[in-house]
Amino acid sequence: MAEDPQRNFRSAYYEKVGFRGVEEKKSLEILLKDNPLDLEKLSTFSQRFPLPSMYRLHVWKVLLGILPPHCDSHCLVTRYRAEQYEDVRDALTAMRFAGGATPTTDLHLRMFQLENRQLRRRRELTAEDVDEDFLAISRSMEEIVDDPVDCYWLVKCFVSQFHNKFGDSIPHLPKSLEHFLSQEDPRLLAQLRASGCLAALPYSVWFKRCFAGCLPETSLQRIWDKVISGSCKILVFVAMEILLSYKIKLMGMKPEGAADFLSNIPQDNTDAMVTKAIDLWHKHCGTPMHSV
């Protein structure tokens, strides 16, 4: 039987946008038509397969609780989210915490602090009130999302969910990195320990900021897919793949140089590194067993 060129074209297209076949696309479309949406199945899908850009933000909003599972209320909730955004922004303007020249990321940080009852009086603000982790994630999200309302809600809920769900796990991620690196490349681990580079790795950038400011947004989105869908351990495997990819370069570096380099790695090969990191994650941690 002759091959169907139209089918081959569609298959090639779906692979290009992140699907390994037509069946994955059909599965996601079916899931997104459910009312109410099945959050467990959406989460499982996001962990097992990459999300193309046409669906990503919508899935993020649902998994982060910005939109409810019931699809028929999405329009109404979206309007409420916009009204709440305007109310909080106007309150900050009235209190002279923000103005027309305030950068969006700074505005969103103060909004986040106000809504969480963490905003002190202006005269009491110190450098400690500037949350660099939040700002880094916010800057990266701005590159992904055009609408400032969507950007704020995604950053707010992403940061809140990350700390609420994984706050106790974050301090243990460096040890997890050592554990899995010992299985993949024990010689590299031994060299990093001996040189002092292991203790100087940019863990804060990697694990507290989920690589925001370290990797380009095209790569970040694929990592954040996994974090939002319920796994912070993907961060460990991204970090490990970075170390494996730059193994030769790191061998000759001192701790200070390694920390600086790894916080600002070259941006030309990161998509391939993330692909390998996801493969390592599946290899060591398996995949969710829920059917989609």
What pLDDT, on the 0 to 100 scale, is given for residue 3? Answer: 41
In the chain, which stretches have pLDDT less than 50? Answer: 1-19, 21, 289-292
What pLDDT, on the 0 to 100 scale, is given for residue 216? Answer: 95
Task: Summarize pLDDT for 95-141 with one digit per residue, the tens.
Answer: 999 988 999 999 999 999 999 998 877 766 666 667 999 999 999 99
Break the chain into its structural domains and give their ranges.
74-164, 167-292
What pLDDT, on the 0 to 100 scale, is given for residue 287? Answer: 65
CA 155/CA 135 separation, integer angstroms: 9
What pLDDT, on the 0 to 100 scale, is given for residue 123? Answer: 62
What pLDDT, on the 0 to 100 scale, is given for residue 20? Answer: 53
What pLDDT, on the 0 to 100 scale, is given for residue 130? Answer: 77
What pLDDT, on the 0 to 100 scale, is given for residue 125? Answer: 67
What pLDDT, on the 0 to 100 scale, is given for residue 127? Answer: 61
CATH of 167-292, one of 3.40.640.10, 3.40.50.800, 1.10.3720.10, 1.10.472.80: 1.10.472.80
DSSP string, 74-112: HHHHHHHHHHHHHHHHHHHHHTTS--TTS-HHHHHHHHH
| The model's pTM | 0.88
Sign of CA pseudo-dihedral 133, 138, 144, 149: positive
Q: Which residues face 212 on adjacent strands?
A: 215
What CATH code is assigned to 74-164?
1.10.8.680
What pLDDT, on the 0 to 100 scale, is given for residue 19? Answer: 45
Integer angstrom CA distances of residue 23 from 14, 29, 42, 107, 292: 10, 10, 15, 42, 11
